[in-house]
A = this chain, B = another copy of it.
Amino acid sequence: MKNITNIPYYLKSNDIKPSFQRMKIFDYLYKNKNHPTVEMIYKELSGIIPTLSKTTIYNTLKLFVKKNIVIIVNIEDNETRYDADVSTHGHFKCIKCKEIYDFLFDTENLKIQNLKGFQKDKIDLYIKGICKECLFSG
Protein backbone atom coordinates (compact mmCIF):
# COMPACT_ATOMS: atom_id res chain seq x y z
CA MET A 1 0.00 0.00 0.00
CA LYS A 2 0.90 3.60 -0.38
CA ASN A 3 3.46 5.12 1.99
CA ILE A 4 1.96 7.90 4.08
CA THR A 5 4.47 10.07 5.92
CA ASN A 6 2.30 12.99 6.90
CA ILE A 7 -1.08 12.00 8.27
CA PRO A 8 -2.57 15.50 8.75
CA TYR A 9 -1.63 16.35 5.20
CA TYR A 10 -3.03 13.06 3.93
CA LEU A 11 -6.32 13.72 5.69
CA LYS A 12 -6.45 17.29 4.42
CA SER A 13 -5.77 16.23 0.86
CA ASN A 14 -8.76 13.91 1.18
CA ASP A 15 -11.03 16.70 2.36
CA ILE A 16 -10.96 15.70 6.03
CA LYS A 17 -10.10 18.15 8.76
CA PRO A 18 -7.30 16.60 10.78
CA SER A 19 -8.55 16.74 14.34
CA PHE A 20 -6.51 15.07 17.06
CA GLN A 21 -8.88 12.10 17.31
CA ARG A 22 -9.04 11.61 13.56
CA MET A 23 -5.26 11.63 13.29
CA LYS A 24 -4.89 9.12 16.10
CA ILE A 25 -7.52 6.81 14.64
CA PHE A 26 -5.98 6.93 11.21
CA ASP A 27 -2.52 6.46 12.68
CA TYR A 28 -3.73 3.33 14.48
CA LEU A 29 -5.23 1.91 11.30
CA TYR A 30 -2.15 2.71 9.29
CA LYS A 31 0.39 1.29 11.72
CA ASN A 32 -1.55 -1.79 12.82
CA LYS A 33 -2.29 -3.77 9.70
CA ASN A 34 -4.55 -6.02 11.77
CA HIS A 35 -7.88 -4.94 10.25
CA PRO A 36 -9.23 -3.90 13.63
CA THR A 37 -12.80 -3.71 14.86
CA VAL A 38 -14.17 -0.57 16.53
CA GLU A 39 -13.71 -2.37 19.83
CA MET A 40 -10.00 -2.96 19.19
CA ILE A 41 -9.42 0.67 18.26
CA TYR A 42 -11.33 1.80 21.32
CA LYS A 43 -9.40 -0.48 23.69
CA GLU A 44 -6.08 0.74 22.36
CA LEU A 45 -6.75 4.44 21.97
CA SER A 46 -8.79 5.07 25.10
CA GLY A 47 -5.56 4.44 26.99
CA ILE A 48 -3.99 7.36 25.15
CA ILE A 49 -7.10 9.55 24.85
CA PRO A 50 -9.13 8.80 27.98
CA THR A 51 -12.09 10.90 26.88
CA LEU A 52 -12.40 9.15 23.52
CA SER A 53 -15.87 7.77 22.89
CA LYS A 54 -16.90 4.93 20.64
CA THR A 55 -19.31 7.28 18.89
CA THR A 56 -16.34 9.32 17.73
CA ILE A 57 -14.69 6.18 16.38
CA TYR A 58 -17.86 5.22 14.54
CA ASN A 59 -18.27 8.75 13.17
CA THR A 60 -14.64 8.95 12.14
CA LEU A 61 -14.56 5.56 10.43
CA LYS A 62 -17.78 6.34 8.59
CA LEU A 63 -16.21 9.58 7.38
CA PHE A 64 -13.01 7.79 6.35
CA VAL A 65 -15.00 5.21 4.37
CA LYS A 66 -17.03 7.95 2.70
CA LYS A 67 -13.83 9.77 1.72
CA ASN A 68 -12.35 6.52 0.44
CA ILE A 69 -9.29 6.40 2.66
CA VAL A 70 -10.54 3.36 4.57
CA ILE A 71 -12.42 0.25 3.47
CA ILE A 72 -14.68 -2.08 5.37
CA VAL A 73 -13.56 -5.70 5.65
CA ASN A 74 -16.63 -7.83 5.92
CA ILE A 75 -15.15 -11.30 6.08
CA GLU A 76 -17.23 -12.32 9.10
CA ASP A 77 -20.92 -11.59 9.41
CA ASN A 78 -20.71 -10.74 13.10
CA GLU A 79 -17.90 -8.20 13.05
CA THR A 80 -17.06 -5.17 10.96
CA ARG A 81 -13.37 -4.56 10.41
CA TYR A 82 -11.54 -1.63 8.88
CA ASP A 83 -8.49 -1.31 6.66
CA ALA A 84 -6.48 1.78 5.69
CA ASP A 85 -5.15 0.00 2.62
CA VAL A 86 -7.61 0.98 -0.08
CA SER A 87 -5.74 -0.60 -2.96
CA THR A 88 -7.44 -3.60 -4.58
CA HIS A 89 -6.55 -6.65 -2.54
CA GLY A 90 -8.22 -9.65 -0.99
CA HIS A 91 -8.50 -10.90 2.56
CA PHE A 92 -7.77 -14.36 3.89
CA LYS A 93 -8.94 -15.41 7.33
CA CYS A 94 -7.43 -18.41 9.06
CA ILE A 95 -10.18 -20.30 10.84
CA LYS A 96 -7.63 -21.60 13.37
CA CYS A 97 -5.61 -18.60 14.50
CA LYS A 98 -8.23 -16.05 13.32
CA GLU A 99 -5.51 -13.95 11.73
CA ILE A 100 -6.45 -11.95 8.64
CA TYR A 101 -3.91 -11.86 5.82
CA ASP A 102 -3.87 -9.53 2.84
CA PHE A 103 -3.26 -10.93 -0.59
CA LEU A 104 -3.05 -9.68 -4.12
CA PHE A 105 -5.06 -11.06 -7.01
CA ASP A 106 -5.25 -10.49 -10.66
CA THR A 107 -8.52 -8.99 -11.87
CA GLU A 108 -7.39 -9.19 -15.51
CA ASN A 109 -7.70 -12.96 -15.68
CA LEU A 110 -10.83 -13.14 -13.60
CA LYS A 111 -13.50 -14.43 -15.93
CA ILE A 112 -16.99 -13.50 -14.83
CA GLN A 113 -20.15 -14.78 -16.47
CA ASN A 114 -23.69 -13.39 -16.29
CA LEU A 115 -22.64 -9.80 -15.64
CA LYS A 116 -22.29 -8.51 -19.19
CA GLY A 117 -23.15 -4.84 -19.40
CA PHE A 118 -22.96 -4.36 -15.64
CA GLN A 119 -20.87 -1.52 -14.23
CA LYS A 120 -18.50 -3.00 -11.66
CA ASP A 121 -17.28 -0.44 -9.16
CA LYS A 122 -15.98 -2.43 -6.22
CA ILE A 123 -14.73 -5.98 -5.91
CA ASP A 124 -14.30 -7.83 -2.63
CA LEU A 125 -12.60 -11.19 -2.47
CA TYR A 126 -12.60 -13.13 0.77
CA ILE A 127 -11.02 -16.52 1.33
CA LYS A 128 -11.21 -18.66 4.42
CA GLY A 129 -9.08 -21.61 5.30
CA ILE A 130 -5.96 -22.48 7.26
CA CYS A 131 -2.78 -20.46 7.07
CA LYS A 132 0.65 -21.91 6.45
CA GLU A 133 1.75 -21.58 10.08
CA CYS A 134 -1.31 -23.37 11.45
CA LEU A 135 -0.99 -26.12 8.86
CA PHE A 136 2.54 -26.86 10.07
CA SER A 137 1.95 -26.55 13.80
CA GLY A 138 -0.94 -28.98 13.86
A residues within 8 Å of B by Cβ?
Answer: 72, 74-77, 80, 90, 92, 94-95, 101-106, 109-132, 135
Contacts and interface: CB of A to CB of B under 8 A. Distances in A.
Contact of A126 (B76, B110, B117, B124): B124
B104 A112 contact: yes
A118 B122 contact: no
Contact of A113 (B77, B105, B116, B118): B105
* Chain A at the B interface: SS class: strand
A122 B112 contact: no
Contacts of A95: 121
B135 A130 contact: no
B118 A132 contact: yes
A104 B110 contact: no
28 contacts: A72-B77, A74-B74, A75-B124, A77-B80, A90-B112, A92-B120, A95-B121, A101-B114, A101-B115, A101-B118, A104-B112, A104-B113, A104-B114, A106-B110, A109-B111, A110-B110, A112-B127, A115-B127, A118-B129, A118-B131, A119-B129, A119-B130, A121-B129, A122-B128, A122-B129, A124-B128, A125-B126, A126-B126
Given A77-B80, A117-B135, A132-B118, A123 B127 contact: yes
